[in-house]
Structure 1
Amino acid sequence: MADFNFELVSPERLLLSERVSEVVIPATEGEMTVMANHAPTMTTVKPGVVTVKAADGKVSRYVVFGGFADILPTGCTLLAESAVPVEEVDRTLIEKRIEAAKNELEGIAHGDEQRTRAETFLTELTQLNGILVAF
């Protein structure tokens, strides 16, 4: 199987930079699997879990809280708003983010486009919280 370069970057640090065989990204329009020679694509990323299969077969997972991915045939760079390895996830952090999203939602008028985005973000965080129970 062909390998490609993958980088996962957050504002705080470079979390991963290595040769991988496949990456599953929680793209806004649905999960997407990236492999070598993928068509050039740029996509936004919603809160979720990124699954990385290294060239040696080792699988690692990272929780991301939005961002975007730049995909080329030779590699993929995911610029996350925030990201941490699944093992380091603090459930209280996610619950605080959910509470903050609820509070933000209360202050936005009905029918406002910003409200729709906030509702979507809250739903995504709630789903992520449920997914992490499995890890």
Structure 2
Amino acid sequence: MELVGGIQRMEHAIQTPVWDPAWRPGVSRAVALLKAAFAEHVDRTEGPSGLYAGVVGDAPRLARYLTVLVDDHETVRSALDGLEGRLDSCDHEAVRCEATQLIQAMWEHRQRGADLLYEAYETDLGGET
């Protein structure tokens, strides 16, 4: 599953009323799918042949910004694990709040990544003839 689809599925799952018997299984499925999509995203971006390596090769001036994105990966992975561990909690509103914060963090991460790619490949630094 694509990361955007995973985020959107999570958004949809947490919008189900918490008293609905389908709420917990739906959120649990959404978390599992989002974890898988996020793991795939990390695999495609990090590592010697990942997207970030390409950015460093093409625009080395941006290498320090990649650290933020890699740190985001650890933060999101930890938050996903924490959310998964709290799904059995009876405090559905706290789980929903935590999921909402996670979703926001993931959208912000995607935006930082898009901004970095734009800077790497669309910004004209001049000097070309």
Q: Which has the higher helix share?
A: 2
* TM-score normalised by structure 2 residue count: 0.34
Flag the structure with larger Rg. 2
Q: Which has the higher strand share?
A: 1
